Amino acid sequence: MTHEPSTVVIALTTMPAEESQAVQVARALVDRQVAACVNVLAPMISTYRWQGVVEQATERQIVIKTTRARVADLKNVLAELHPYDVPELLILDVADGGKTYLEWVGENVGHL
């Protein structure tokens, strides 16, 4: 199955720094075939405004590779599993990439 680069997307979310929770969510996304691959990055410091106050917290960036067709399902799974009241979720279009990798992403997410 051929996938045009524009059908592959990268989704970003952040989670608490505690590794096991992020790894569990990453595993669930791949197990449920809403993501082909999920990277759980090292802890980082996030600075943000929450309820009118500037906060800082140690978090992990989660990088999710999926397809545009699976974004709605990804949102549903994250709504179910994510620990934050207002989780970050950014969907970034992939303009181009390695043909075989883009095809692999498409082949490793469930199809509607």
How far is the C-alpha of 51 from the C-alpha of 29, rounded, in Å?
30
pLDDT value at position 110?
81
Q: Is the pLDDT of residue 31 over 70?
A: yes
Which pair of structure tokens corresponds to residue 91?
């969907």
How far is the C-alpha of 16 from the C-alpha of 104, rounded, in Å?
29
pLDDT value at position 6?
61
pTM for this predicted structure: 0.92
Extended strands (E) in 3-111: 8-16, 37-50, 53-67, 90-93
How far is the C-alpha of 103 from the C-alpha of 112, rounded, in Å?
16
pLDDT value at position 78?
96
**Residues 38-82: tens digit of each pLDDT:** 999 999 999 999 999 999 999 999 999 999 999 999 999 999 999
How far is the C-alpha of 8 from the C-alpha of 22, rounded, in Å?
22
**DSSP count for the chain of H helices, then E strands:** 3, 4
pLDDT value at position 107?
93
Which residue has tokens 């691959």?
37
**Residues 10-29: tens digit of each pLDDT:** 999 999 999 899 999 999 99
CA 81 to chain CA mean position, Å: 12
Task: Tell me the domains of the chain and their CATH numbers.
Answer: 5-107 (3.30.70.120)
Q: Is the pLDDT of residue 112 over 80?
A: no
Pairing of strands 37-50, 53-67: antiparallel
